[in-house]
Amino acid sequence: MFQLPFPLHDANASAGGKDLGDLPEWDLSDLYTAEDAPELKRDLDWLEEACASFATDYEGNLAGLDAKGLLDCVLRNEKINQVAGRIMSYAGLRYYQQTTDSGRAKFMSDMQEKITDYTTPLVFFTLELNKLPDAHLADLLDQDPDLARYKPVFDRIRAMKPYQLSDEMEKFLHDLGVVGDAWERMFDETIAGLEFEVDGETLTIEGTLNLLTDPDRAKREAGARELAEVLGNNIRTFARVHNTQVKEKEVLDRWRGMETPQTGRHLSNHVEPEVVEALRNAVVEAYPKLSHRYYELKRKWLGLDVMQVWDRNAPLPMEDPKIVDWAQAEDIVMEAYSAFDPRMGDIAKPFFTKGWIDAGVKPGKAPGAFAHPTVTNVHPYVMLNYLGKPRDVMTLAHELGHGVHQVLAADQGEMLSSTPLTLAETASVFGEMLTFRKMLDKAKTQAERKVLLAGKVEDMINTVVRQIAFYDFECKLHEARRSGELTPDDINALWMSVQAESLGPAFEYMEGYETFWAYIPHFVHSPFYVYAYAFGDGLVNALYAVYAEGEEGFEDKYFDMLKAGGSKHHKELLAPFGLDASDPAFWDKGLSMISDMIDELEAME
């Protein structure tokens, strides 16, 4: 019930070991000081009693509450969420610092089990809330402005009302959820246990994927071929996991009466299907002027007749392999944030000075990067694996953007602070764009500007084009599974049907590339999650275009948007900027920014 964000794997991360300066580590004492801290025991005891008394007081009684009674109920539920979230934040963050520590793993598992046990009796809350007649709930909201503040929460919960089953069936499905979790764990453990032999060295999947960004083309090819070999040897297991997960989702969706496999994701993202379709269509139509055009440029820069899949994330030949130490990275990002608005710099500063960032690469530390909001009465924590590449500076800017957003939204409280996935990337991508523009302005040579521009375009293509191709693959996968079991070859064919279309004619595809769907975790953990990346990037590009045009009062409007957290729909949030995500022209505005950068790169040739 209370989960940390799934760590985002940075496909371009690499092993370091260079002198990067004094890299900060987390100080988690703002959550708890130790596993056996008396405050932690106090909160666990409180949580057990609070959940039990909540169920006793309210189960079967929601329909009879007046406005004040319902507000008290909501506030008690919010406090339960806050205490449970604090405990799981502490357990999860400690675990991510050292995933190989069996003690930390056991502690996190024990805490998750306790909290699941304590909170299971609360399943009734959303079920009963959805049984309240619309007119009755509207009347209660009219009576109490403090209760009316929670209307966005009620709206999100009640969006599931048409798809809700009987109380008994809902409790059964809640208990059955551990079965789906077991398949996810099987996927994770299988991926983590894979071994790849490259040039006499045994690597994990992270180390092998990292080879795909190596300057040495022979190493990139060796990594790609070993990935294909090992994934191919295990493809029946991955096909079984996907077949089972997709079938389970199809059964649940059918029982609930969901119109499409994507409906549940759209509801949780609080976004209309037609808006996602407008995004998807705009990106697919733009493939020729974006990815096809860029990869043709990259093919020339690399001096190749044709690109292979192991060249997609290759460093550019004119790239300077310079190292940016931690102090420089902090200066670059802080300067960019403060130049936009000093308030943003003030919010960002404590992350560097108070132990809110864990930056170093350490044995057993989780890969990738993320910002975790913890709970609204503490503060966010940022995790990085900082290696001193210019790209790592952008990752710092990205995660710090999440952190600033989470700090600003915290005043909304536990139930209204978190944004849907489609809006969660707004401040992070905007912070990254501010930092990129600052670095671009400081470029001393044409070659340096070219590398920065190309790197940004490549990141945007990976975020927009690649993720929409992933989304199309998932749509095809779920549709095909409805007709029966899919063989590995069936899934391979679906994967290849979207790859050539999105990447373009600059590429050839080696034998074995058809299995590369198997290692993407989002397909298993979070079906249809991937379009949120493209949504966030497109939204920020359109937003930044408004900023670049000199919109009056932009900074204040931007801060108001972040402070709103999850209390407003995307239409309300974007309206002050004159933007509307349901308008196809909105997405074209964002995609044009990428196209303009490619124009500049072509003009440099």
Please tell me the distance from the alpha carbon of residue 542 to that of residue 539, in angstroms, as a whole number: 5
508 backbone dihedrals φ, ψ, rounded to 5°:
-115, 155
Q: Judge residue 216's burial from the number of C-beta atoms within 10 Å of its C-beta, 0-12 exposed, 13-18 middle, 19 or more buried.
A: exposed
Q: Is pLDDT of 6 > 50?
A: no
* Alpha-carbon distances of 571 from 409, 547, 580, rounded to whole Å: 18, 18, 6
CA 561 to chain centre: 19
Return the structure tokens found at 289: 């002027």
Per-residue tokens: 344: 């943003």
What pLDDT, on a 0 to 100 scale, did the predictor assign at position 18?
57
How far apart, in whole angstroms, are the C-alpha atoms of residue 89 and residue 381?
10
Q: In angstroms, how far apart are the furthest CA atoms of the chain?
A: 74
Cβ atoms of residues 146 and 71 within 8 Å: yes
Q: What is the amino acid identity at position 143?
A: Q
| AA letter at 19 | D
Q: What is the pLDDT of residues 487-513, one digit of tens each?
A: 999 999 999 999 999 999 999 999 999
Question: What is the model's pLDDT at position 389?
Answer: 82
- From the list 489, 504, 497, the residue with the least C-alpha distance to 470 is 497
State the residue for tokens 């302005």.
441
Distance, in Å, from the CA atom of 421 to the CA atom of 529, rounded to the nearest integer, reads 8
Nearest CA to 385 among 364, 404, 358?
A: 358
Structure tokens at 49: 């009693």
Q: How far apart are CA 141 and CA 474, in angstroms?
A: 40
* Spatial distance between the Cα atoms of 526 and 181, rounded to a whole number of angstroms: 11
* CATH code for the domain of 124: 1.20.140.70
- The answer, yes or no, to whether residue 458 has pLDDT greater than 80, is yes
pLDDT band at 118, cuts 50/70/90? very high
Among 601, 596, 602, smallest CA distance to 548 is for 596
Average pLDDT over residues 163-177: 82
pTM for this one? 0.86
Q: β-strands 357-358, 307-308: how paired?
A: unpaired
CB count in 10 Å sphere of residue 513: 22
Is residue 591 a part of any domain in this protein? Answer: no
Q: What is the pLDDT of residues 65-117, one digit of tens each?
A: 999 999 999 999 999 999 999 999 999 999 889 888 889 989 998 998 899 88
- Rounded to the nearest 10 degrees, what angle do helices 167-193 and 235-256 cross at? 160
The H or E element containing residue 329 is helix 326-340
Which pLDDT does position 23 carry in this prediction? 94
Interval 328-351 mean pLDDT: 97
Residue 35 lies in a domain: yes
Q: Is the pLDDT of residue 8 over 70?
A: no
Q: Which domain holds residue 65?
A: 28-159
| Within a domain: 83 | yes
- Tell me, rounded to whole angstroms, the distance of Cα 450 from its chain centroid: 29
User: Going by DSSP bridges, is the β-strand pair 381-383/370-372 parallel, antiparallel, or unpaired?
Assistant: antiparallel
- Residues contacting 600, CB < 8 A, separation 6+: 453
Contact predicate 477/487, CB 8 Å = no
DSSP 175-229: HHHHHHHHHHHHHHHHHHH--EEETTEEE-HHHHHHHTT-S-HHHHHHHHHHHHH
The three-state secondary structure class of 278 is: helix
> Cα separation of 206 and 227, whole Å?
11
Q: Is residue 339 part of a domain?
A: no
pLDDT band at 7 (very low <50, low <70, confident <90, very high): very low
Residue 552 within any structural domain of the chain: no
The region that residue 130 occupies, defined by phi over 0 for left and psi between -120 and 50 for alpha, beta otherwise, is alpha
Cα distance between residue 362 and residue 321, in whole Å = 22
pLDDT digits (tens, 9 = 90+) for 236-286: 999 999 999 999 999 999 999 999 999 999 998 889 999 999 999 999 999
> Under DSSP, is residue 452 helix (H, G, I), strand (E, B) or coil?
helix
Amino acid 12: pLDDT: 35
The tokens describing 314, both together, are 């290759």
Closest among 436, 446, 375, 438 to 410, alpha carbons compared:
375
Q: In whole angstroms, how far apart are CA 167 and each of 60, 121, 125, 474?
A: 11, 12, 11, 31
Distance separating alpha carbons of residues 537 and 591, to the nearest angstrom: 9
SS3 track for 521-553:
CHHHHCCCCCHHHHHHHHHHHHHHHHHHCCCCC
Does residue 99 fall inside a structural domain? yes
Amino acid residing at 447: A
- In this prediction, residues 358-381 reach a mean pLDDT of 89
Quick check: 238 and 190 in contact, CB under 8 A? yes
Q: Count up the domains in the chain and report the number.
A: 1
Is the residue at 117 inside a domain?
yes
pLDDT at 9: 35
Q: Give the C-alpha distances (Å, rounded to integers) separating 266 from 190, 451, 469, 510, 531.
A: 30, 37, 18, 35, 10
Q: What is the mean pLDDT of residues 443-468?
A: 92
CA proximity to 422, closest of 573, 532, 530, 528:
532
Give the Cα separation of 288 and 158 in Å (integer): 41
* C-alpha span between 447 and 318 (Å, rounded): 7
- Is residue 112 one of the residues assigned to a domain? yes
Q: What torsion, rounded to 10 degrees, do the Cα atoms 222, 365, 177, 257 define? A: -60
Mean pLDDT of the chain: 91
Percentage above 90 pLDDT, the chain: 71
- Is residue 13 over pLDDT 80? no
Residues 6+ apart with CB under 8 A from 97: 26, 104, 358, 362, 365, 366
Please, how many CA atoms are within 13 Å of residue 462, restricted to the half-sphere of its CB?
A: 12
Asked whether the predicted pLDDT for residue 16 surpasses 50, the reply is: no
Under 8 Å between Cβ of 397 and 424:
no
Give the type of residue at 373.
Answer: P
Q: Measure the N-to-C terminal CA separation of the chain; round to a whole number of Å.
A: 53
- Tell whether the model's pLDDT for residue 531 goes beyond 90: yes
Q: How many CB atoms lie within 10 A of CB 134?
A: 9
Task: Return the sign of the alpha-carbon dihedral for residues 284, 287, 291, 296.
Answer: positive
Strands 357-358 and 381-383: parallel
pLDDT band at residue 3 under the 50/70/90 scheme: very low
